[in-house]
Chain A
Amino acid sequence: MNAPAARVIDPAAAADGAETRRQLGICNICNYCNGLCAVFSAAERRHRLTPGDLDHLANLCHHCRSCLYDCQYAPPHAFAVNLPRALARQRWHSYARYAWPRALAGSFAGHGRRAGLLAVAVVLAFTLAVVLTVPAPTLFAAHAGPGAFYAVVPLSVMTAGAVLSLGFALFAIAVGVRRFWRTTAPAPRIAGPGRGAGGGALARAALDLLTLKHQSGGGPGCADLDHRPSRRRRRFHHALFYGFLLCLGATTVAALRHHMLGQPAPYPLLSAPVLLGTAGGIGMVVGCIGLLWLRRREDPAPTHPPSRGADVALTWLLLAVAATGLALLALRGTSAMGLLLAVHLGTVLALFVLLPYTKMVHGAYRAAALLRDAVERAGR
């Protein structure tokens, strides 16, 4: 049943698995941390610590880091337990293991530099294409009124780009999550009698996901910057995540208004798409800047440097999406609109294209791991 997990991308990943297993073996005897989050009880249930178990636990971990500072076996102790780092590394390798198509898993290598460079390339290429194809008088004119955006980038191009890139990304992520779900299936004894995900488990997993329940160090907060409990990372993540959802909501409402009511963008300042998009954009900017600030100031000890670099690259991309979106809104009546629209759509395209091959996938695997955890707990 664990055949897929036996596929190992490189020997370093196998060595990481062994190290994660060694550390969790110590945790499973000590167990002092089992009030901090769901990982420790789950590790006890899955005490055999198969490769699939390790990937499940790594993605159940919200990297709150408290368990490093609370550990009596943390370095300089000879046992050198640094579970947040071990699980971050395991998690990062797991993204590559489950990525589809496998040939693109290489984007997870190299400290996030590849994904970052690729994002910049997509933005530049898209902007350049707009600049080269749209006549300068059109591009640099101050448009106004319904359909102004489509004078620069035709609606068909916009729609096709969004549907194709996002559609492919969601499909690729779905394939990855399916692989993950199968590989991380627990031993039958753990799964409990009702092996399916019941409504209760689903609701619980959704609540854990939407509230980031396990990013709280068991209540007092996480070790965001150093050992002291803090709620900053959780709040900034909420700002980014819910800001992102509001922006998606704005786009959806706009699409409905366009196609159902025949009202093309741009919309007035006091319309639902603009209000949702503005609130969402501000949330994303605040969240991104906050998370980048934390990344700059945090104690590197519990982090895994390659995934940390990739994390920073992704946060910059999200910040670019939000900031260009807000700039576009502010300057949409001016001659800068055309170029801003090109840059903004370029960042959105880059985000969609890279969705399955950046840390963005963490949300999907985290949701799957939380659902599995809720099912296992309900089965007890």
Chain B
Amino acid sequence: MLVIGGGAAALAAALEAAAAGARVRLLDAAPPPLLGGNTRHSRNFRYAHDAPNRYTPDAYPAAQFRADLLRASGGGADPRLLDTLVAQSRELPDWLLAQGVALQRPAQGPLPYSRRTAFFLGGGMAAVRALADRALALGVALMPGCRADALVRSGGCATAAQTAAGAMGAGAFVLACGGAHADPIRLARHWGQAAAGFINRGTPHVRGELLDWLLAAGAVAAGDRAGLYLVAVDARSPAADGGIVTRIRGMPLGIVVDCAGRRRHDEGADTASTRYARWGQRLAAYPAQTGWLVLDAAGLRAAPAALYPPIQAPSIAALAAATGVDAPGLAATVAAYNASIQPPADPLATADWCTVGLVPPKSAHARPIAEPPFAAYPMRPGVTFAHHGVAVDTRTRVAWADGGSVHNVFAAGMIMAANLIPQGYLSGLAVSISLVFGRIAGREAARAAGRAGGGAR
């Protein structure tokens, strides 16, 4: 059987299929050092557990996992897939440990507190390497740097994949190659020119050829064709693969302006980690998809560390000149903002500072922008994943508009995650979806390949 993709879903599928006795080849479009898809940039996975354990300091009951995902997805999660995900997420820590993946104990260096997720020791790269080592040990043929563009079908069966290395035949196929969000041309179909202003935070190899093939062949789509999970990142980030470190996080400590120097949103309203995605989505609507976080020296001191140094200037006018933001616009915005600030009864309660009469307001952390030097971070939306993919059932069989036309094609990972998250996100969810459905797809495909080939090896 053939697994296409190289991230957590593909590796999990290959491992389960090989353990079931199938002869497995794994094709990944990325060259060897970049094997691992966007799992390379991951760190933790969400899983249900009824009691604290070595890796997670508190319980996370299944009912709560279910409720959290339903809320985050606006009620759009497929209920049967949701049940499967939550139930089988329980097995993930033990399964990963059995494959040789190390998990980090909270005592081993400060982890962000999370009772919902467990962390890979060394992050997603370490997990990818351990899973790939295990796959090699089980006899899986890893073929990185080999892109598959389409499947070849014959009646109700897929018989081969068209790849850079020619047609590759197999008895069953697991498509675990992600969505289509790294391809600017595909993004432009739904976002028009704005797509050119997006930065891809993940692997550049998730280009959606096979998702396109599936949908053209009559598979049922899932999620929102234009839906992207966007996060505010530094506009100077590399075009792809910037990962976790390019995020800009200090919005509550300053103001965010567009190229005309205008504020558009309340920077103080959201100080939780949800603000990253909120600002990513907002920036997509800014002219040239660019906004600037403007801070004064005090705000900059309090802001979290950032990858690139901010653009700094001794005055607001000089800052406008250095950033290209409209100078009169920025000066007027800063003046109006500073004039509208209402200090709270206790001036030391920094969160309680807010503006009065300003539109849009800044409802918290509204400290004056007064202490030079002034600083600005240019920001753009960073594409993290797409809320669009292919519909599957709980056995990861691709759903077809005519009710079942290609029966040996399975899909796992971000290519089918939109069934569960047609919108929104929860931390650690992508890896959990990938591992749970990757494992199912591997077992199902091994069985299908066994039937096709007249029995397993």
Contacts and interface: CB of A to CB of B under 8 A. Distances in A.
B121 A29 contact: no
B353 interface: no
Q: Which of A32, A74, A229 has the most C-beta atoms of chain B within 10 angstroms of its own C-beta?
A: A32
Interface stretch (A62-70, A88-96, A184-192, A308-316): A62-70
A218 B243 contact: no
Contacts of A75: 33
Interface string B241-258: 101110000000000000
B177 to A, nearest CB: 19
Interface in B14-36: 33-34
Interface stretch (B102-110, B283-291, B354-362): B102-110
A70 B108 contact: no
Contacts of B343: none
Contact of A77 (B108, B119, B124, B241): B241
Contact of A32 (B102, B123, B133, B306): B123
B129 A227 contact: yes
Interface string A203-216: 00000000000000
Contact of B123 (A26, A41, A70): A70
Contacts of B102: 218-220, 229
A228 B104 CA distance: 17
Q: Which of A25, A35, A70, A220 has the most C-beta atoms of chain B within 10 angstroms of its own C-beta?
A: A35
Given A29-B305, A34-B110, A69 B126 contact: yes
Q: Which of B33, B34, B126 has the most C-beta atoms of chain A within 10 angstroms of its own C-beta?
A: B126
Given A40-B109, A73-B243, A78-B238, A29 B124 contact: no
Contacts of A36: 109, 121-122
Q: Which of B110, B123, B129, B238 has the most C-beta atoms of chain A within 10 angstroms of its own C-beta?
A: B123
B362 to A, nearest CB: 26
Contact of A70 (B110, B111, B122, B245): B122
Interface in B291-319: 304-307
B245 A29 contact: yes
A30 B121 contact: no
Interface in A57-106: 66-67, 69-79
B66 interface: no
B108 A47 contact: no
Interface residues of B, number: 31
Given A29-B306, A70-B122, A70-B126, A218 B245 contact: no
B125 A70 contact: yes
Contacts of B133: 228
Interface string A1-29: 00000000000000000000000011011
A217 interface: yes
Contacts of A29: 244-245, 304-307
Counting chain A residues whose Cβ lies within 8 A of the other chain, the interface size class is: 20 to 34
Given A69-B129, A78-B238, A219-B108, A32 B122 contact: yes
B181 interface: no
B115 interface: no
Q: A interface, by DSSP: helix, strand, loop or mixed?
A: loop
A219 B243 contact: no
A52 to B, nearest CB: 19
A30 B123 CA distance: 10
B244 to A, nearest CB: 6
Q: Which of B109, B129, B304, B306 has the most C-beta atoms of chain A within 10 angstroms of its own C-beta?
A: B109
B305 A35 contact: no
A33 interface: yes
Given A30-B243, A30-B244, A218-B102, A72 B40 contact: yes
A26 B109 contact: no
Contacts of B244: 29-30, 32, 72
Interface in A218-250: 218-220, 227-229
B104 A35 contact: yes
B218 to A, nearest CB: 37
Contact of B124 (A28, A72, A73): A72
B109 A35 contact: yes
Given A78-B238, A227-B129, A33 B122 contact: yes
Contacts of B307: 25-26, 29
Contacts of B122: 32-33, 35-36, 66-67, 70, 217-218
Interface string B133-150: 100000000000000000
Contacts of A35: 104-105, 108-109, 111, 119, 121-122
B263 interface: no
Interface in B223-253: 238, 241, 243-245
B41 interface: yes
A77 B241 CA distance: 8
B49 interface: no
Interface of A: 25-26, 28-30, 32-36, 40-41, 44, 47, 66-67, 69-79, 217-220, 227-229
26 contacts: A29-B244, A32-B43, A32-B120, A32-B122, A32-B244, A33-B122, A34-B108, A34-B109, A35-B104, A35-B105, A35-B108, A35-B111, A41-B109, A70-B123, A72-B40, A72-B41, A75-B33, A77-B241, A78-B241, A79-B238, A218-B108, A219-B121, A220-B102, A220-B121, A228-B129, A228-B133
The 4 A-B pairs of least Cβ separation, nearest first, read: A32-B123, A70-B122, A34-B109, A35-B104
